[in-house]
Structure formats: C-alpha cells, structure tokens
Amino acid sequence: MSDKKKLDHLSSSFEDWEDNKVEKLLDKFPERKKVFSTGSDKEVKRLYTPLNIENMDYEEDLGFPGEYPYTRGVQPTMYRGRFWTMRQYAGFATAEESNKRYKYLLDQGQTGLSVAFDLPTQIGYDSDHSLSEGEVGKVGVAIDSLRDMEVLFDGIPMDKVSTSMTINAPASVLLAMYIVVAEKQGVAANKLRGTIQNDILKEYIARGTYIFPPEESMRLITNIFEYCSKEVPQWNTISISGYHIREAGSTAAQEVAFTLADGIAYVEAAIKAGLDVDDFGPRLSFFFNAHNDLLEEISKYRAARRLWAKIMKERFHAKKEKSMQLKFHTQTAGSTLTAQQPDNNIVRVAIQTLAAVLGGTQSLHTNSRDEALALPTEDSVKIALRTQQIVAYESGVTQTIDPLAGSYYIESLTNSIEEEAMDYIKKIDNLGGATKAIEKGFIQKEIQNSAYKYQMQIESLEQIVVGVNKFQVKETGSRELLRVDPHVEILQRKKLQKLRENRDNEAVNKALEILKAKAETDENLMPYIVDAVREYATLGEICGELREVFGEYEQTVIL
C-alpha cells in the first residue's frame, strides 16, 4: 500500500472510531470539558495520529542531533556525553555572603555559577545613590566596584568555573570587572567561560532594568560582541531571553516569537556595525522558561531550535554550523510557584525540570519552593539542586537523545508553535523590527493580554492552580525565610566611602574623562571601560558618565 493509501485508510478508520466508539461513550460519560487546551491556551485534540503530521519529512524537519535544523538537539550525543550545566542563580547581601553561598553550591556538586545582582547594580547606581535606598543587597549581591568583585570571586578558580551574570544595561562594566579580577588571579581573558545576559530589548519589554535608550544600548551590545570575539573568545556575549517575557505572562509561542524577534534585532545591529554573522553568531545564546505544561514546553524548545536555525541560515546566510545552533539556558517558572502550600512547588519544579531536559537544555536553574515568599533558604536551594540531580541520574530520560520525537502530539505541537511564532515575527518585521515594535507597545500589549486572560481563567476556575483556587487549606505557622540584614546597606555605603578615600582619584577621573570623550565617538568602549574599572572607578560613576552622553530610556507605559 502506498503512503497516500495508508493515510486515506487511517483517516476513515479514525472517523469510524470517533463516530462509533467515542460518540457513543460521550452520551453516557461526557468529557471533563468542552474544549481542552495547553497551559498557553492552545486547543488540544482528543487524539493525535499520523494524520496530524502527514507532511512531516524526517530528514528535513527533524534531522539528526547536531545537524541542521537541530530540532533534536545541538550536540550529536547530548546528555550521553555530559549532563547540562546545573547552575543555580544566586546572590544576595554583600560580596562576602554571596561568595560563601557560591562555595557552598560548588561543594554540593553544582557545575557553574550564576550571579544575581541587586537592583541598584543592575540599573547602574552605586549603593549610596538616593534611588538605591531600601534595595541594596535585596534581590542579589551589591557590586559597586572592582573591590566587591574581587571579594565575590575570592578562592573560586575562574579558569575552571563558568560564570553566568544576569546583567544587562551595565553588562560591559561587570564583564570588565570579571576580566580584571581574573587577570589578578592569573587567568587570561581567553580562558574565561561564561555568559552575560546583555539583552536590553527584553528589559524594555518585560524586566525593567534598562538605563540607556535603544540605539546607545545596541551600540554597547555590539561593542561587547566585537571585543569578545577577539579578547574573550569563549564567552557567550548575550543570552537572548524569553524567560522574563514568559514570566510577564506571555504564552509559550509568544515566548519563542518575541525572543527570536529580539535575536533578529541583535544580529541586524551587529551586521550593521560591520561584524560578520559567523564571527559573533556562535557566541549568541538563549534563555527560556520552563512552565508546567510538560509536553507544550518540550515542543517549544524544539520549535525554537528549528526556527532559529532557519533564520540564521536563510535570513542571515550564516555559514558556520555553530551560528545556527540555538543553545539555551532554562530556568523553571517563578510565576507558577505558589505562596500557598509552598512544598507543592517542589513537584512543580520537578515537572519543569523534566520539560527542560526533555527539550534539550544546555544549562538549568531550578527554583526553590519558597520563592513566592522570599529569597530561598540554603535548605530549599539544596532540594532544588537535588531535583536536577535526580532527573539526571535516576529518571532515565537522559539515556537517549530527544526521546519524545516522533510522538504525533509533540511533533504536531512543535509545528504549531513554530508557525505561530513565525506569524508574530512577520508582524514585527512589518512594524519595523523588534525595537520599533517595543516603542509602539505592540509586544508589551500582546503579553499583557495573555497575562490578563490567564488571570481571569484562574478566577473562573477554567485553570486550576492546586492550593490556590482548589484544594486550599488554612495555613498555619510561618516558615523559616531568608532575610537580608538591613545593615547590609549601611555596610556597603561605608565600604564605598572608604574606597573613594583610598583609591587614586586622579587616575579615576582621568579614566572617566577618557571614557566620556570616547562615548561621543564611534569607538568601541570596552577597552576604556576596562581601564576605568581597573582604577576602581565605581559602577555608578561609569554609568553616570554614559548617562550624560547617552541620556536615559523613557518607558512606553501601556495598559
């Protein structure tokens, strides 16, 4: 029988099954709902069969791991070679405290570091700035100068550990500090491995720690691409992030769409700045969310990989394989954690971990059960890390590559997410690209609509959140939470004052003056930022000079 005939036969058998078996049963036992849908509100059919993927071509659409279009993974052996990097995002209070937590995590078998900075650091203010009041050391570690960075990495071998830094608007300054601290440890820049987030577009869209306007921000970003391709060649110069877009309430398909649209904008900016796509393309990395709908999330990662490969090859004519490979970090979804019955969050995180691993992630952060309440305690962080280790060593899902490929549902959903993302990218292209679409508020509005719809579904009980709108209990007793000592702010200010008294202020001022002058030209600013950092110019001083030249971003407020 030919394939066509087989499918025709299947199609009529399927109809028979629906008419004779299903319909009869439905009369007596109706299904739980009229319409079933994914966590992202995509309609889900009762059953998937070869009919739903009849146009799929194995070699063209899936291929082999490590081969275009990378649907099944970016490496030929995936987790049979080595597991993903287990990388817990951590940082709070002072550099001393965070340094202790990093050493603890490395002792517990974590394989990479991920630095969380406090909000003043992320927005380029020193701890003694008036806007920093109440925020110092709260959501991450406070870093004011090279001095803090030296303490943060004290006793941590920077040639062995790879470090990811969640830093965006002032990414160039923190990267410069990292390079200089390594130099002092005797580690050359070309040995350094790690990632800076450096993704300003999603800050405008969803995360909010922007400083400069888009054009100037894009310049800083392409400056980093260029500098690193020569000086820090193993560094991932950007982590194009869908994580926060999803946290802000987008659907899975929107997460893929808006992230890749941002990616397109960065590639275009770098090409416009005169760089070759194959020089910086291999150092682009991505960062996605892992929500609870296991199969939808797995499909999402697969769709993102295939779509990015096509974009790099067909749109930007990349030649190197590495330029086409979408490598990504994953974090489990903070927004799915509940303050109610927080131990339930351990189970949510386990499901999300499975999603990320079955989707082929390169590194993973698992959230702790208490994150809807406060920063996680050491005990909670340990359970979160153990969750990854259990999936890695005990679940069996790492023994073969992309084990869910070929599932009628997974392949159909992968196709559907890719199509929806492509439609969005087309719309964004028509608006003039991601930067313009953000300025017009299009992307923010789409996300807000999804977020609002989801909230209404929870309130109407269309979406059940265990412990929140069903299976509630009266909660008693308070838990042990991690609190940041309010004295951290005073301590950090004192340290800063001492630094300003003891450094060579003439050298600092000279370095800052040069940086400011260079900011007015088209020159690459990285070497001048490194010079200023080396003299112990503070983060706030460096960003202050740049603020004067570049101005500040004005948020488009959309309701």
Partner 1 sequence: MDRPIRVLVAKPGLDGHDRGAKVIARSLRDAGMEVIYTGLRQTPEQIVAASIQEDVDVVAMSILSGAHNHLFPKVVRLLKEEGVDDVLILGGGVIPEEDIPGLLEAGIKAIFTPGTPTTEVIEFIKANIIRK
- Binding residues for partner 1 (CB under 8 A): 119-120, 122-123, 130-135, 138-139, 203, 206-209, 247-249, 335, 338-340, 372-375, 448, 451-452, 455, 458-459, 465, 468-469, 478, 481, 483-484, 555, 557, 559
In the sheet that holds 284-290, the strands lie side by side as 85-86, 363-365, 328-332, 284-290, 238-241
Q: By the 8 A CB rule, do 272 and 318 touch?
A: no
Residue that is written with structure tokens 């719309």 in the block: 427
Q: Please, what is the minimum distance in Å from the beta carbon of residue 288 to partner 1? A: 18
For partner 1, the closer CB: 112 or 342: 342
Distance between CA 542 and CA 537 in Å, rounded? 7
- In 3-state terms the chain splits into helix, strand, coil percentages (rounded to 5) of 55, 10, 40
Nearer to partner 1, 247 or 418 (CB): 247
CA–CA dist 297, 291 (Å, integer): 7
- Residue 35 or 557 having the CB closest to partner 1: 557
Number of continuous H segments (helices) and E segments (strands) in the chain: 22, 12
Least distance (Å) from partner 1 to the CB of residue 142? 12
Question: Closest CB to partner 1 among 185 and 338?
Answer: 338
Provide CB contacts within 8 A for 181, sequence distance 6+: 146, 149, 150, 152, 153, 158
Give the residue from 209, 212, 98 showing the smallest Cα distance to 156.
Answer: 98
Which residue, 85 or 94, has its beta carbon nearer to partner 1?
A: 94
In the block, tokens 């991690």 appear at 482
- The tokens describing 529, both together, are 């930022």
Q: 137 by DSSP, 3-state: which? A: coil
**Residue number with CB closer to partner 1 (65 or 249):** 249
DSSP letter for each residue of 389-443: HHHHHTSSTTSSSSTTTT-HHHHHHHHHHHHHHHHHHHHHHHTTSHHHHHHTTHH
CB nearer to partner 1: give 138 or 291: 138
Question: Distance from CA of residue 36 to its chain's centroid?
Answer: 29
Question: By C-beta, is 199 or 226 nearer to partner 1?
Answer: 199
For partner 1, the closer of residues 1 and 473 by Cβ is: 473
Least gap, CB of 133 to partner 1 (angstroms): 6
Half-sphere exposure of residue 282: CA atoms within 13 angstroms, side-chain side = 11
- Closer to partner 1 by Cβ: residue 488 or 508: 488
Q: Where are the strands (E) in 217-352, listed by range?
A: 235-236, 238-241, 284-290, 328-332
Q: Find the shortest distance in angstroms from Cβ 80 to partner 1.
A: 39
Closest CA to 325 of 84, 72, 70: 70
How many CB atoms sit inside 10 A of residue 123's CB?
23
* Least distance in angstroms from the C-beta of 283 to partner 1: 26
